[in-house]
Structure 1
């Protein structure tokens, strides 16, 4: 599991990105559960994730951040990455970010993919 914490900060909201190998739905859920065992991540407002399984099956979960899972999936598709779950974590800072939140999700995923 790779975790990059504090990579983006905007109007009080803070973002982190995490990821690792993933071959199935049960493994994806176990990955997120393991991440949330860390107190800081358990208290996050959103832990949105996406993965394209080695067989090509896409899985995602917005965790309340509408559309974030699809943004992650699209970026994984474009990069041709399979078998890697990517989790974008957001701690809400009190101010709505509007469309900027999608840019931040993209930037977080790019940060992770650049380090694969």
Structure 2
């Protein structure tokens, strides 16, 4: 699993993005469990994720309404299959409105760029 921590900060909220190969839902759950073994990540407010597993789109907003769908659309455009991307947010006390979607998209783009995935 690759983790890119502290990539975005806005009005107290902080974001990280991580991910790795996953063939099925159990693989996604294993990566989430691995991430949450880090105490800092265990205390995060949201771990939104998306993946296309065996051709089937799956997602979980984890309380960050709409996040999974946005991430899924980006994975589909990148044609990235059997790989989960997780956007973690530590809520900073102020609502970000529509900016939160921009931050989620920026986090996914950061992951795709840094890992070289979804380039074709």
Q: Do both share a fold (TM > 0.5)? A: yes
Deviation string 1:10-38 (CA, Å, 9 cap, x unpaired) is: 00000000010010011111111111111
Q: SS of the residue aligned with 1:58?
A: strand
Aligned Cα RMSD in Å?
0.6
Matched, 1:7 2:10: no
Using the TM superposition, give the Cα deviation of residue 86 of structure 1 relative to its aligned residue in structure 2, in angstroms: 0.2
1:8-87 equivalence runs, <5 A: 8-53=8-53, 55-87=54-86
Which sections of structure 2, spanning at least 5 residues, go unmatched?
Answer: 116-120
Q: TM-score, normalised by structure 2?
A: 0.94
Distance in 1, matches of 2:27 and 2:89, equals: 22
Q: SS of the residue aligned with 2:5?
A: strand
Number of aligned pairs?
115
**Structure 1 segments of 4+ aligned residues over 6 angstroms from their partners:** none
